[in-house]
Amino acid sequence: MRPKIICHMVSSIDGRLLPGRWTPPAAGIAPGWEHRHYEAVAARLDADGWMVGRKSMQDFASGTERATVGVAGNLRETYVADRKGRDVAVGIDPHGRLHYGQDNAGGDHIIAVLGQHVSDAYLAELREDGVSYLFAGKDGTDLHEAMRVLGEPFGIKTILLEGGGITNGTFLKAGLIDEISLLVYPGIDGLAGVPSIFEFLGAADDRPAAGKALRHFGTETLEGGVVWLRYKVEAAA
């Protein structure tokens, strides 16, 4: 069974995702509340870890490409490395572009979600780094298959989907988001074209959320005026 997927994001009031562009807090309000709340609220969601797209995972991938040889076994099966009881950090990286150089992102065990077309050398490099991996079909876009494997054998029950917008958009289109947890920071970006919470790369008439409806089930106003909104994603009536 696939895990429950909660899309957990922080945005400006216009739904934009790049905090460095937002207006500063009002006079007398300390900066940085959105980041502190983001982590604190994530902990309250009681998940087994978090999941991001290749670009958002880049900050945690500080290794370099290596010609690893001599790793035994069938490299083309799901690889479950030693998680050591840690939360997981899942990177959706269809082309195998990330070179981690370690088995964790911020202390959480890395699981790479890949296309089957990545090279043996790349898979050997991941094993040498202690990184787990699984395949999302031939080209790495079969998210239903990837989430099924995350459920079993990885045993993930709940996972936080933490962006960026492109990755959130592909999960939305695939009908794989169960809940949305959105922290709205009291600031504005304001510029057309800046990435927002969902950025499905489709045709102009595409409607990635078609067939879905949101049921609001929680609002909290947090310190600094950040508002935490919670929704269940249901089938539309």
Ligand X SMILES: NC(=O)c1ccc[n+]([C@@H]2O[C@H](COP(=O)([O-])OP(=O)(O)OC[C@H]3O[C@@H](n4cnc5c(N)ncnc54)[C@H](OP(=O)(O)O)[C@@H]3O)[C@@H](O)[C@H]2O)c1
Residues that bind ligand X (CB under 6 A): 9-11, 17-18, 52-56, 92, 94-95, 97, 141, 143, 162-167, 170, 195, 199
Residue 52 vs 233, nearer CB to ligand X? 52
Instruction: Pick the closest to residue 79 from 4, 153, 172 (CA basis).
Output: 153
The 10 Å Cβ neighbour count of residue 201 is: 11
Both structure tokens of 101: 């150089």
Per the CB < 8 A criterion, the answer to whether 191 and 214 are in contact is no
Report the nearest approach of ligand X to the CB of residue 182 (Å): 9
Report the nearest approach of ligand X to the CB of residue 139 (Å): 8
Residue 210 vs 213, nearer CB to ligand X? 210
Instruction: Pick the closest to residue 225 from 7, 57, 34 (CA basis).
Output: 34
Report the nearest approach of ligand X to the CB of residue 115 (Å): 9
Residue 123, H or E segment: helix 120-129
Residue 81 vs 166, nearer CB to ligand X? 166
Report the nearest approach of ligand X to the CB of residue 59 (Å): 8
Residue 103 vs 142, nearer CB to ligand X? 142
Q: Which residues contact 203 (CB under 8 A, 6 or more apart)?
A: none
